[in-house]
């Protein structure tokens, strides 16, 4: 009887965990874009909730915040969630010069948003490329950081580039007829 009871408890726990982990199909309609001017550029920010702030840093580095909002938007129920598009990504303005696209400028963007939104400390959740500016922010602004979560990340820009090079090599060797047309998307 004990093994059956344990199995039923485990199944009930898994069903509950899976149900609670599902995306809200209406999550995108619960957020609204607001544009803040930072360094002369309009930056798209979508914020909701109350409580300790969590900034979500998308990957790419060319992705908009949308995919993170779909997965983490429901945290507005317990925290203030802040989704934004980096300069030149999503709905935010494009930079005037390619030299403005850098990890250092992305770190500065996080800090300028923190100050503008009047948060004393923030939690950062970075995914893929977003883990690079998250770590750089933690080094540069340790007193403004509460917590940091890194998802499928890299420890440096050089590691990110090595990953891109690996994808390019894979495409060229596994898809010799098609690989060349894909590699122009990855630096």
CATH number at residue 93: 3.40.50.1820
Please tell me whether residues 36 and 126 are part of one structural domain.
yes
pLDDT at 146 over 70: yes
Mean pLDDT of 20-35: 81
Residue 80 sits in the same domain as residue 56? yes
Is residue 178 located within the same domain as residue 138? no
Cα(104)–Cα(109) distance, integer angstroms: 9
Do 149 and 163 fall within a single domain? no
Residues 95 and 59 in one domain: yes
Mean pLDDT for the stretch of residues 119-127 = 97
Place of tokens 């090595």: 162
Residue 127 and residue 36 share a domain: yes
Residue 116 and residue 36 share a domain: yes
- Compute CA distances 49 → 52, 76, 100, 112, 185, whole Å: 9, 4, 31, 20, 36
Tell me how far CA of residue 109 lies from CA of 10, 70, 72, 126, 131, in angstroms: 44, 22, 21, 14, 14
Instruction: HSE, CB side, 13 Å, CA atoms: give it for residue 131.
Output: 14
Question: Cβ contacts of residue 60 below 8 Å, gap of 6+?
Answer: 89, 128, 129, 130
Under a CB-based contact definition with an 8 Å cutoff, are residues 123 and 82 in contact?
no
For residue 42, list its beta bridge partners.
Answer: 37
Total domains present in the chain: 2
H-assigned helices in the chain: 2-21, 66-72, 103-116, 131-140, 157-174, 179-182
| Interatomic CA distance for residues 42 and 184, integer angstroms | 28
The range of the structural domain enclosing residue 62 comes to: 28-154
Residue 173 and residue 93 share a domain: no
Minimum mean pLDDT among 55-64, 101-110, 157-166: which range? 157-166
Both 148 and 182 in one domain: the answer is no
**From CA 8, how far away is CA 167, in angstroms rounded?**
43
Within a domain: residue 18? no
Q: Does the residue 9 lie in any domain?
A: no
The answer to whether the Cα torsion of 107, 155, 63, 25 is positive or negative is negative
Give the Cα separation of 157 and 173 in Å (integer): 24
DSSP 120: S
Quick one: pLDDT at residue 14? 45
Is 146 found in the same domain as 120? yes
| pTM metric for this prediction | 0.76
Query: What's the pLDDT tens digit per position in 6-26?
Result: 545 545 544 544 445 557 788
């Amino acid at each position: 009887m004990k093994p059956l009871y344990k199995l039923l408890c485990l199944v009930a726990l898994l069903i509950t965990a899976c149900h609670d982990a599902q995306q809200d199909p209406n999550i995108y309609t619960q957020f609204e874009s607001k544009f803040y001017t930072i360094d002369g550029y309009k930056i798209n920010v979508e914020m909701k909730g109350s409580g300790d702030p969590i900034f979500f840093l998308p990957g790419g580095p060319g992705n908009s915040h949308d995919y993170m909002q779909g997965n983490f938007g429901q945290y507005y129920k317990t925290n203030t969630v802040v989704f934004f598009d980096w300069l030149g990504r999503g709905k935010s303005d494009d930079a005037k010069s390619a030299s403005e696209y850098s990890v250092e400028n992305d770190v500065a963007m996080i800090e300028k948003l923190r100050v503008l939104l009047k948060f004393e400390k923030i939690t950062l959740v970075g995914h893929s490329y977003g883990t690079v500016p998250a770590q750089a922010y933690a080094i540069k602004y340790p007193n403004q950081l509460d917590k940091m979560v890194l998802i499928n990340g890299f420890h440096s820009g050089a590691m990110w580039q090595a990953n891109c090079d690996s994808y390019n090599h894979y495409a060229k060797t596994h898809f010799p007829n098609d690989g060349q047309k894909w590699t122009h998307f990855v630096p």
